[in-house]
Structure 1
Amino acid sequence: MANQIVLLAFVAMTCSLVIAFEPKPLQDFCIADTTSSVIRVNGFPCLDSKLAQADHFSFGGLHMPGNTTNPLGVKITPVNVAQIPGLNTLGISLARIDYAPGGVTPPHTHPRATEILTVVKGKIYVGFVTSNPENKLISKVLKKGDVFVFPIGLVHFQQNLGSGTAISQSSLSSQNPGVITIANSVFGPNPSISDDVLAKAFQVDKSIISSLQAQF
């Protein structure tokens, strides 16, 4: 009897973990009706399926290089429900990332998605940090054709180590994975986090905090 109880408890916990992620669709598709005024609940309202067209399920231009002339030297081209309305409720999205030499995708998280990255061109240094208290850095240098996984919610980054441009493509397990860039969230929110809090948290002088906040 005790073994059966343990087994049932394990099954219940497993089921609860499964349903914690995006629910399975209850119809063939649910094209996002972005013009609707209906309240959103975990996705956009559905367009009448009779109005479905091929354009609702396609996106052109992922082959086009992104403009990396910015301070980070990186351009991300997302392909999510905003670009493909037919992705609504399907729980998946893509992104192309272009890197200038030395370009960096800064430490960030995706609160609603695991990311699997494939290197299309170049040599890219990638890594993620495990949660407290270990805070272990797991990193690797990837080359063309290599694949790396960033688990859901963990802080991760990418950097182009080559002398030329680099390209990667990511698949994410959410139609709307979200992005939380650590530096922007800490030093650039509106209104600002108190410099007393940040100085104490980072164990530095307030002048350093002010200098960092000014960048965002």
Structure 2
Amino acid sequence: MSKISRRSALGAGVAAATALGATVSAAQAGADPAGKPGKPSGEAHPHLFHLSATTPSNYDGGNLRGANEQNFPVLAGQDGSVYLVHLDPGGIREPHWHPTAWELNYIISGRAEWSILGTHPDGSYLNDVFTANRGDLVFAPQGFFHYFANPSTTEGLDVLVMFNTSVAEPNDDIGVVGTLNSIPREVLAASFGVPVSAFAAVPKDIKPVVITKRR
């Protein structure tokens, strides 16, 4: 099978995201848009995947569903995967970066606060902070540190995320919690210019990127 053009795939993905906006309620309920039981593996049709019918990964501040080479085999070797991310009111996608992939985000519903940090040609660091609304696209370049959050106290946020990698999403994420906990406390203290005790309350787990929420 020949490789699918990334540019063509992205164009098709954005168009599909617009249609997907009408199915968000069904997605949260775990049913496909027609109300039929989903078959995430595309059992009868290898090119069809019922994203809204997949079992979500649930977190404290929301959930996500994804299509990658592990559960949608046709994506193997095609440098493409897609995730539907839902953030509850106050939900936050843990700050992280992807060492080997960029991501393109389409806001299906709600409002998202974004922060993207990366090096630039002039040698400076630019922390790009902005708000994205329904129908907007947000691009996070490969290796750039980023996160998005739902600032609303009453409305949910739904984002379709497209990657130029076929691997499962946690396999290409490095989160801020895992990063801090991979560094000795005395090194962190020296880097921040604070006492070691300042990090006493920081959990020591090194774990995949999660969805959390404001406390």
TM-score by length of 2: 0.66
Q: Match for residue 84 of structure 1?
A: 72
Separation of aligned partners in 2, 1:141 and 1:119: 11
Letter in 1 for 2:72: I
Gaps of 5+ in 2: 4-42, 207-215
- Three-state SS of the structure 1 residue aligned to 2:199 is helix
Quick check: 84-93 or 58-67, which moved more?
Answer: 58-67
TM-score by length of 1: 0.66
Q: Match for residue 157 of structure 2?
A: 166
Gaps of 5+ in 1: 1-26, 30-52
Q: Match for residue 10 of structure 2?
A: none
Separation of aligned partners in 1, 2:66 and 2:57: 14
Over 3 Å counting, the alpha-carbon distance change for 1:56 and 1:186 in structure 2 is farther
**Alpha-carbon shift at residue 68 of structure 1 (Å):** 5.4
Q: Match for residue 128 of structure 1?
A: 116
Q: Aligned residue pairs: how many? A: 162
**Alpha-carbon shift at residue 79 of structure 1 (Å):** 1.6
**Alpha-carbon shift at residue 62 of structure 1 (Å):** 2.5
**Alpha-carbon shift at residue 92 of structure 1 (Å):** 0.8
Give the greater-gyration-radius structure (CA).
1
Percent identity (aligned): 19
Q: Which has the higher contact order (CA 8 A, sep 6+)?
A: 2
**Alpha-carbon shift at residue 54 of structure 1 (Å):** 5.0
Separation of aligned partners in 2, 1:98 and 1:204: 36
Runs of 4+ in 1 over 4 A off after TM superposition: 53-56, 63-69
Q: Which structure's residues are more often strand, by fraction?
A: 2
**Alpha-carbon shift at residue 141 of structure 1 (Å):** 0.9
RMSD: 2.6
Over 3 Å counting, the alpha-carbon distance change for 1:215 and 1:175 in structure 2 is closer
Letter in 2 for 1:112: T
